[in-house]
Amino acid sequence: MNKKFIIISLLIISFTSINFGSCDSYFIGIINAIGMSSGDYRYGENSTWLEYTIYVGANGSIMRSTGDNNIVFSVIPSPTTQQLNNVRVSPHDSFDDAVAVGNNGTVVYSFNAGNSWALSAPVTSSNLYGIDFIFGNTFAVGDAGTIMIAPYPGGAWTLQTSGTTRNLRAIKVSAQVSGTAIVVGEKGTILRTTNAGVNWINASLTDTTFNFNDISQKGIYFTIDINCAVGSNGRIYKTTNYGATWVQKTSGTTNNLRKVYFNSPDSGVVVGDNGTIRLTTNGGETWFQDAFFNSPSGRNYRSAGIINIDHGTYAALSDSLFIVSSDPLFVGVENINSAIPGEFSLSQNYPNPFNPSTKIKFQITKLSDTKLIVYDIQGRELEILINKTLTAGTYEADFDGSKYSSGVYFYKLAADEFVETKKMVLIK
């Protein structure tokens, strides 16, 4: 696995930059996020690429990030106030569907890469936790043995007979064998279907002392099935015959493992409680810890994924977003108006005075190498908020002063031949 990593949640509240060896590290404090899923969407005659990630969480919250090495976050209006527990974007780059599931049978869906969402008619009051789809059939699973199926994301849901009342936590639809899917849940529960959910075969483990939390799903960039399921007590199981039999793998931990993600048929990551991160480079046969990804023991990771394959930017969901990338990566810089301005300009930050964060708005009239830098009162460089080529438009960047003392600071914009500096005041 490429050693560039992200750790993520929902609703941005802060942004700082830290030096991390030869890489850049970024931390964004975010709250309320539970599930995430990333995708690429190729559209239009010129095959324009949209790289995006959807985050869902408490009170129906939905957030969307777009971009590659200039990641912009947006809060998306939600059609529900129910807690959303998981989300899945299309595993194919020519489709822009997305589905999220949550408490009390809630299902919301999008047909435009997460830009807007609609609410499906409920068919159960059970809490839903697992969601997956490939082309046609869409599956969702949840408490009390609930399995639902729809003909497509946003289609009418029908309940299936699962043969169990145990709580189900995750589902994986096969990318290789049509009609095949695997469901995992509490007490070592494993169900499998080979006829698109018409019948479910109980392949549960005899060991009922632990719970499955997740099973690996198809990544956007590969079509080979890697079937690894993870759960409590550090359990990792793998199947090579689509769920008929399972072999336990050594994880090296007894911590609760919550999410497993494969970026390729070989490279994968498992994340869990107490800062647990385990990697594999041989398709889940063996798992190891890498000191590069050392993490605070108090951080409990809920989900994992990738934001950008070209830049090797990976993600794991916890109570914060921690980014490590060998490429320059900017978070929270937003193009708020793509109309071409009449002149270069740098606006006064707002609010000002501020505590602890403020926004800086500026305009550029043409494609320009752009830098936005913050200095202290003695002229020492504190942070580079932007250092990249931007197209013409109006932009807004965030500066978080939580780690600095009260006082006067300066920010300077340099774009093309335009240079301007303004003063701002931090009061704590």
Q: Whose CA is closest to 88, among 80, 96, 77?
A: 96
Residues 6+ apart with CB under 8 A from 21: none
User: Rounded to whole angstroms, how far apart are CA atoms 320 and 55?
Assistant: 12
CA geometry: angle at 307 spanning 306 and 309, to 5°? 75
pTM given for the model: 0.73
Q: Whose CA is closest to 303, among 221, 239, 217, 210?
A: 217
Report pLDDT for 352: 93
Whether residue 153 contacts residue 107, with contact meaning beta carbons closer than 8 Å, is answered with: no
* CA count, 13 A, side-chain hemisphere, 246: 26
Three-state secondary structure string covering the chain: CCCCEEEECCCECCCEEEEECCEEEEEEEECCEEEEEEEEEEECCCCEEEEEEEEEEHHHCEEEEECCCEEEEEEECCCCCCCEEEEEECCCCCCCCEEEEEHHHCEEEECCCCCCCEECCCCCCCCEEEEEECCCCEEEEEHHHCEEEECCCCCCCEEECCCCCCCEEEEEECCCCCCCEEEEEHHHCEEEECCCCCCCEECCCCCCCCCEEEECCCCCCCCCCCEEEEEHHHCEEEECCCCCCCEEECCCCCCCEEEEEECCCCCEEEEECCCCEEEECCCCCCCECCHHHCCCCCCCCCEEEEEECCCCEEEEECCEEEEEECCCCEECCEEEECCCCCCCEECCCECCCECCEEEEEEEECCCEEEEEEEECCCCCEEEEEEEEEECCEEEEEEEECCCCCCEEEEEEEEECCEEEEEEEEECC
Q: How far apart are the first and last CA of the chain?
A: 42
CA geometry: angle at 317 spanning 15 and 63, to 5°? 70
Phi, psi of 99 (to 5 degrees): -135, 140
β-pair partners for 18: 25
Over its length of 428 residues, how does the chain's per-residue pLDDT go in tens digits?
A: 444 443 333 333 333 333 333 344 444 444 456 788 887 776 655 566 778 889 898 889 888 888 766 667 777 899 999 999 999 998 887 788 999 999 999 999 999 999 899 999 999 999 999 999 987 689 999 999 999 999 999 999 999 999 999 999 999 999 889 899 999 999 999 999 999 999 999 999 999 999 999 999 987 767 789 999 999 999 999 999 999 999 999 999 999 999 998 888 888 889 899 989 888 889 999 999 876 666 667 778 888 777 666 656 666 666 555 554 545 544 555 555 556 788 999 999 999 999 999 999 999 988 888 899 999 988 888 998 888 777 788 888 889 998 999 999 999 999 988 999 999 999 98
Q: Whose CA is closest to 188, among 151, 143, 236, 225?
A: 236
Tokens 């890498």 -> residue: 290
